[in-house]
Chains A and B, each alone.
Chain A
Amino acid sequence: MPGHRFRLFCIAAGLLSVMCGARLAPAATPEAYDPWPGLVQDIFNDRPMNDGADVIAIEMPYRAEDAAIVPVTLRTKLSPGDSRRVLTITLVIDQNPAPMAAKFELGPDAKVSEISTRVRVNNYTDVHAVAELSDGKLYMTKTYVKASGGCSAPAAKNADEARSRLGQMRYRQFTRPGQGPVSGVREAQVMIGHPNNSGLQMNQVTQLYIPAFFVHELRLWQDDGLVLAMEGGISISEDPNIRFTYVANGAKRFRAEAKDTEGHVFRNEWKSDDPGT
């Protein structure tokens, strides 16, 4: 009786999936434990978090396609008439081994309104963006990212190449529709060749941890006016890459300085009106 057999086949298939399901249940819900309250304590000294929906937006893909390179964009949303200013934005990837991914300091006169970078995402996780405003308060918004599957890992794809690019810096300017010289709004990108090793991996021969080696500070100026500074951690992707908008102040030079955990200091500068490479 084919119908009969089919039913039994379904029972068998059902059993198999129940077995898989049962085994998966505990491991598949790492988000059951919410690290955020503890992170508020550790990173923000337990200061009150206000709703940041009207202050800041965070954009990330719902699924991390490549665990090593997950794009993130932070956008300020204060209306032009608002007298408050965004001083800093802190990016926290709750379930990463080092949750504090970056803290951005926005230059007082640069009017930075958008910052994009790339991060590593190890797990299914909430990602929080916390803005500190000139009113002295913290404003929080968040999104959720599913970890990538397959063979992608938050590690170098081509470790030799990453080493060989160490310290190289590139600068580029983009033209955006409606943001020409009249408004003074510019969009630029700075990238730094660096392996940004996490230090969380153990050498299986020596059983010693491979030391962390990453860019912990990046500062960008127009002449001597700070545009943007980033205090970075190991959640920032290899070859740190930051793309941002700002308002030109008439400066002649755009300058960048990066420092890493081995004490290297990488500096470069470009003419402000250079489109870059």
Chain B
Amino acid sequence: MAHRIWILAVLAILGASTFSPAQQQELTVSEIAPGLFVHGGQTALMTCENDGAIANIGFIIGEHAVAVIDTGGSVREAKQLLAAIRARTDKPIRYVINTHGHPDHAFGNAAFVRDGTEFVGHRNLPRALTTRGPFYIDAFRRIMGDQLIDEVRMVAPTLLVDDTTKLDLGSRTLILRAWPAAHSDSDLSVLDEQTNTLFAGDLVFLTHIPVLDGSLRGWLDVIDELGTLPAQRVVPGHGPVSEWPAALAEERRYLEVLASDVRALVRRGAPITVAAAMAAASERSRWQLFDDYNARNATAAFSEIEWE
């Protein structure tokens, strides 16, 4: 009997977490600085089981308004983020900032569409969403299933950042900066002046192997400049919140090893397939998800460096 009750309880919990918007589950967030909240994503690939919740996402509460920074890997995750915000403040969400257009950061956008909310992105973000959006939706439908993907919409930015833009949340200013091609070709960073906290998006990876989808040489240049930003801590796109700019060291080393290995392979005439198998192999023990991304990084790096 007790057994059955347990099963019913389990089913009820599952039902509540999956189907009942009335009792919307809240995403776990921590207040890492006053008024600045972060959900730490799992270091994993996006799957049906994890709702695509693999990236670090967060929000900042000012005197008059809230800014959301990235919306996560599904509308389900984003609704839980919204519930976490509403549990802490009823101020309007004036800005939803996308640090770039990848699915794990932007698939949740649709949960935040309403009058008075501006979507903010790099000047290249509309192009990235146009050329990649339909492919992402098809590809992740295969991986995550219809139920999670049916509600995903590629929501394009309404406010574009060309170089630097300041957003005012009421006695709290965010400084947004659009970068040249690095991790992707639409990377945007967000600096909260009040707490000296930098949301770096996927310009910064820790623990999770860096993923190259823009320009390797560009990324190494951007890292140098990014490191001069006056922040005390960084919320990376993936990995733990860390001290700034020390957090850049691991990623810089990986990218430098990748570049120098690939350069040597190009020089001696090795084909691209050999680069995929060999480049940056010495980094294997230092990163999670190495086998999922390193060959791909090497392939992308090769097709860039062979034009040097």
Contact bitstring A120-149, B, C-beta under 8 A = 1, else 0: 001110000000000000000000000111
Contacts of A61 in B (CB 8 A): 273, 276, 295
Establish whether residues B130 and A210, one from each chain, have CB atoms under 8 Å apart when the complex forms.
Answer: yes
Question: Whose C-beta in chain B lies nearest to the C-beta of A173?
Answer: B269
Q: Which chain B residues border A160 with CB–CB below 8 Å?
A: 124, 181, 185
Instruction: Judge whether A47 is part of the interface by a CB distance below 8 angstroms.
Output: no
Q: Which chain B residues lie closer than 8 Å to A148 at the CB level?
A: 296
Q: Mark B136-178, 1 if CB is under 8 A from A, else 0.
A: 1011011111111000001010000000000000000000000
B180 vs chain A, min Cβ distance (A): 9
Complex CA gap A211/B185 in Å reads 21
When the two chains form their complex, are residues A116 and B271 in contact, meaning their CB atoms are under 8 A apart? yes
How far does the alpha carbon of A202 sit from the alpha carbon of B132 in the complex, in Å?
10
| A154 and B135 form a contact (CB under 8 A) | yes
CA distance A170 to B215 in the complex (A): 20
Cβ contacts under 8 Å, A122 to chain B: 135, 138
Q: Is the interface of B mostly helix, strand, loop or mixed?
A: helix
A16 touches B185 (CB 8 A): no
Indicate whether A205 sits within 8 Å of B126 (C-beta atoms), given known contacts A65-B296, A152-B296. yes
Q: Is the CB of A69 within 8 A of B299?
A: yes
**CB-based contact B124/A159 at 8 Å:** yes
Q: Which of A21-29, A37-45, A262-270 contacts B (4 or more CB under 8 A)?
A: A21-29
Q: How far is the CA of A12 from the CA of B269 in the complex (A)?
A: 54
Chain A residues positioned under 8 Å from B213 (CB to CB): 151-152, 157
Could you tell me the distance in whole angstroms from the C-beta of A206 to the nearest C-beta in chain B? 10
B276:A11 contact, CB within 8 angstroms: no
Contact of B103 with A by CB under 8 A: yes
User: Is A271 interfacial (CB-CB < 8 Å)?
Assistant: no
Whether a CB of chain B sits under 8 angstroms from the CB of A247 is no
Q: In the bound complex, what is the Cα–Cα distance between A15 and B11 (angstroms)?
A: 9
Give the distance in Å from the alpha carbon of A27 to the alpha carbon of B139 in the complex: 10
Write out the residue numbers on chain A whose beta carbons fall within 8 Å of the beta carbon of B6: 4-5, 8
A202 to B239, CA, bound (A): 34
Q: Does B293 contact A (CB under 8 A)?
A: yes
Q: A20, B185: Cβ atoms under 8 Å?
A: no
CA–CA, A16 to B29, complex, Å? 23
Q: How far is the CB of A161 from chain B (nearest CB, A)?
A: 7
User: Residue on A with the closest CB to B298?
Assistant: A65
The answer for the CA separation of A274 and B46 in the assembled complex, in Å, is 48
Q: Given A30-B142, A65-B276, A65-B299, does the pair A151, B185 have CB atoms closer than 8 Å?
A: no
Interface residue? B218 (CB, 8 A) = yes
Contact B303 A153 (CB under 8 A): no
A175-206 toward B: CB 8 Å interface, digit per residue (1/0)? 10000000000000001010000000111110
Closest to B215 in A: A158
Contact, CB under 8 Å: B154 / A204: yes
* Chain B hits for A5, CB < 8 A: 6
CB–CB B132/A71 < 8 A: no
Q: Does B33 contact A (CB under 8 A)?
A: no
B48 at the interface (CB under 8 A from A): yes
Q: Contact check, B130 vs A16: say whether CB atoms are below 8 A apart.
A: no
A51–B85 CA distance with the chains assembled, in angstroms: 62
Complexed CA–CA distance, A253 and B6 (Å):
80
Q: Is the CB of A170 within 8 A of B181?
A: no
Whether A153 and B131, one on each chain, are in contact in the complex, defined by CB atoms closer than 8 angstroms, is yes
Measured between alpha carbons, how far is A108 from B46 in the docked complex, in Å? 50
Across the interface, do B14 and A28 meet the contact criterion of CB distance under 8 Å?
no
Interface residues of A (CB under 8 A from B): 4-5, 8, 11-12, 15-17, 19-20, 23-24, 26-28, 30, 61, 65-67, 69, 71, 73, 116, 118, 122-124, 147-161, 165, 168, 170, 172, 174-175, 191, 193, 201-205, 210, 237, 239, 241, 243
Residue contacts A-B, CB under 8 angstroms, 29 given: A8-B10, A11-B10, A12-B13, A12-B14, A20-B49, A24-B48, A24-B143, A24-B145, A27-B142, A66-B299, A71-B273, A116-B271, A148-B296, A153-B132, A153-B136, A155-B131, A155-B135, A156-B185, A157-B181, A157-B214, A158-B304, A160-B124, A160-B181, A161-B181, A191-B306, A201-B134, A204-B129, A241-B303, A241-B306
Binding site for A on B (CB under 8 A): 3, 6-7, 10-11, 13-14, 18, 45-49, 102-104, 124, 126-127, 129-136, 138-139, 141-148, 154, 156, 181, 184-185, 211, 213-215, 218, 269, 271-273, 276, 292-293, 295-296, 299-300, 303-304, 306-307
Q: A27-B141, A151-B103, A172-B269 are in contact. List 15 more A-B contacts (CB 8 A).
A: A11-B10, A23-B146, A61-B295, A66-B300, A67-B139, A150-B211, A151-B184, A153-B135, A157-B214, A157-B300, A158-B181, A175-B269, A204-B156, A210-B130, A210-B131
